[in-house]
Amino acid sequence: MSTPTPPEQKQKSNNALLLLITRLHFYIGLFVGPFIFIAALTGTLYVLTPQLANIIYQDVLTTESQGPEQPLAAQIQAAQASLPHELKLFAVRPAPSPGETTRIMFLDPASKLSGASAVFVDPVTLQITGHLPVYGTSGILPLRMNLDFLHRQLLQGEWGRYYSELAASWMWIAALGGLYLWWRGGKKNKAEFAARTPHLRHRRRHVQIGLVIFLGLVFFSATGLTWSKWAGGNIAQLRAQIGWVTPSVSLNLETQAPKATAHDPHAAHHDAGNIQSSTETHPLWTPQQFDQVLATARAAGIDAGKLEIKPPKSADKAWFVREIDRSWPTQVDSVAIDPNQMKVISRADFAEFPLIAKLIRWGIDAHMGILFGWPNQLMLAAFGITLCVMIILGYRMWWLRRPAAGPTAKPLLQAWAKLSNTHKSISVMLALFLGWSLPVLGVSLIIFLMIDALRWRAASDTAQN
């Protein structure tokens, strides 16, 4: 047998690379596809329900009272008096506009998902309109809170977070692999698009949908990874090392300048986890100070209708006031206020954020469907439903080919063995890097290879028999 010439060897390696990516794309779809489907479906339900939640909780969120608003101090005292037992107050959100209620928020162990609840107060009459669990900067209520945790962790606690990290870790690779397969298909793709067999019709639709939502797949995979447990931690460390951090105020009373810190842009999803870190049990503030702090913040330019006031956690900390309107235009300015002198000692204005910090903020808000209001919601819902359809078509396509594919399908490791030494080295280094950066991806890749090795061995035994 003659030794292959360099062009022939290159073509052989390219064909092996095509087969390798084909098999990897298949494994992602087969094993990770269900998790991506669940994430897309639950995410769609989450972004479609803000208006529904407003209707369900309308009596709690709104009031028909008219007239001048009572001081925040009186509203806080009314909320505290309504509690069956004492709870620690951690934040107050004044009524954003006439006809809406004020939220007085407390740490509440009875709210198992969020660890926080709110007393809703009519700012005019001081009537209590309701008590509800609340969660995150967006202040979602029980309906959407459950959908949020379903999307993030399947209501299974910390272990459930692995499912969403698995989906986010592989989705961008599946998208890039699918794009490569479409590009390498060339004339074959055009011929298959014109075919009428059920398998090829499903393939055509699967490919077309993938091309339409390709950018969305990469975007939601990248932004979703920043929420994940393991990959998210690595991303946060990388951002800190290269300076891609979000500026935040300093709450230390001796510090009088804003600083760039690894401020969490995902606070909308897990503020409750942050607030529970406070262990101070002695009173550090009076209800009357909330009115003084609010007036100081307004005078300093904190002008958004939606804002949050947090009292100090210890005697050496300042009050924290921040805007929480993450629609467009984004209003997330924040200030730290010295309670002794009632003056701003530190501030962080969104207009002065570095471009990267702004893009991160917008990316997270777009992922949550709050950046542009209902157009953002509709776009995300369309993407989620389309992704679910694409996954269903992929499974249908596999099922139709299943009898014929069987033992003749080429294992992943067999395709890798046919790569050139250069391609082998690159693939190994890339797998090691991604496995270290995205640990859940790395572990699942090992499982893929173990399954593939068993398939290769079974295929070899079948051939020998």
The DSSP result for 141-204, as a single string, is -HHHHHHHHHHHHTTSGGGGHHHHHHHHHHHHHHHHHHHHHHHHHTHHHHHHHT--SHHHHHHH
Confidence category of residue 279, pLDDT binned at 50, 70, 90? very low
On the 0-12 / 13-18 / 19+ scale of CB atoms within 10 A, 123 is buried
pLDDT for 281 equals 41
On the 0-12 / 13-18 / 19+ scale of CB atoms within 10 A, 363 is middle
- Indicate the pTM of the whole model: 0.88
| Domain housing 457 | 6-47+157-226+375-464
pLDDT for 405 equals 44
Shared-domain flag, residues 184 and 321? no
pLDDT for 280 equals 40
The arithmetic mean of pLDDT across residues 113-124, rounded, is 96
The closest alpha carbon to 223, from 360, 328, 380, 329, belongs to 360
Weakest-pLDDT range from 92-101, 274-283, 432-441: 274-283
SS (H, E, C) 385-416: HHHHHHHHHHHHHHHHHHHHHHHHCCCHHHHH
Confidence category of residue 77, pLDDT binned at 50, 70, 90? very high
How many Å separate Cα 458 from the centre of its chain? Answer: 40
Shared-domain flag, residues 135 and 161? no
Residue 427, amino acid: S
pLDDT for 202 equals 85
**Is residue 37's pLDDT more than 70?**
yes
Confidence category of residue 189, pLDDT binned at 50, 70, 90? low
Q: What is the mean pLDDT of the chain?
A: 88
The arithmetic mean of pLDDT across residues 373-379, rounded, is 95
Q: Enumerate the H helices of 226-373 as residue ranges.
A: 230-242, 267-275, 287-299, 355-368
Work out how many domains the chain is built from and give that number. Answer: 3
Q: Enumerate the H helices of 57-141 as residue ranges.
A: 58-61, 72-82
The arithmetic mean of pLDDT across residues 250-264, rounded, is 64
What is the rounded CA–CA span in Å between residue 298 and residue 97? 15
pLDDT for 22 equals 92
Residues 331-374 pLDDT 10s: 999 999 999 999 999 999 999 999 999 999 999 999 999 999 99
The closest alpha carbon to 386, from 228, 175, 177, belongs to 175
Residue 374, amino acid: W
Shared-domain flag, residues 33 and 172? yes
In a domain, 274, yes or no: no
pLDDT for 188 equals 59
Would you give the DSSP letter of residue 29?
I
> Which residues neighbour 144 within 8 Å (Cβ) at sequence distance 6 or greater?
46, 49, 50, 53
The closest alpha carbon to 24, from 460, 437, 434, belongs to 434
CATH number at residue 346: 3.10.450
In a domain, 269, yes or no: no
In a domain, 13, yes or no: yes
pLDDT for 288 equals 96
Shared-domain flag, residues 166 and 78? no
Shared-domain flag, residues 341 and 399? no
| Final residue before a domain boundary, out of 366, 394, 428 | 366
| Final residue before a domain boundary, out of 348, 366, 384 | 366
Shared-domain flag, residues 250 and 330? yes
Residue 308 CA neighbour count, 13 Å, CB half? 21
DSSP 334-382: EEEEETTTTEEEEEE-GGGS-HHHHHHHHHHHHHHT-SSSHHHHHHHHH
The arithmetic mean of pLDDT across residues 186-190, rounded, is 58
| Final residue before a domain boundary, out of 366, 390, 421 | 366
Shared-domain flag, residues 346 and 199? no
In a domain, 52, yes or no: no
Shared-domain flag, residues 400 and 384? yes
Q: Enumerate the H helices of 3-141 as residue ranges.
A: 6-27, 33-47, 50-56, 58-61, 72-82
In a domain, 425, yes or no: yes
pLDDT for 274 equals 41
In a domain, 239, yes or no: no
Shared-domain flag, residues 316 and 398? no
For residues 172 and 217, the answer to whether their CB atoms sit within 8 Å is yes
In a domain, 457, yes or no: yes
In a domain, 256, yes or no: yes
Would you give the DSSP letter of residue 6?
H
> Which residues neighbour 146 within 8 Å (Cβ) at sequence distance 6 or greater?
113, 155
Shared-domain flag, residues 255 and 337? yes
**Is residue 264's pLDDT more than 90?**
no
What is the rounded CA–CA span in Å between residue 122 and residue 98? 10
Shared-domain flag, residues 254 and 338? yes
For residues 355 and 347, the answer to whether their CB atoms sit within 8 Å is no
Shared-domain flag, residues 284 and 385? no
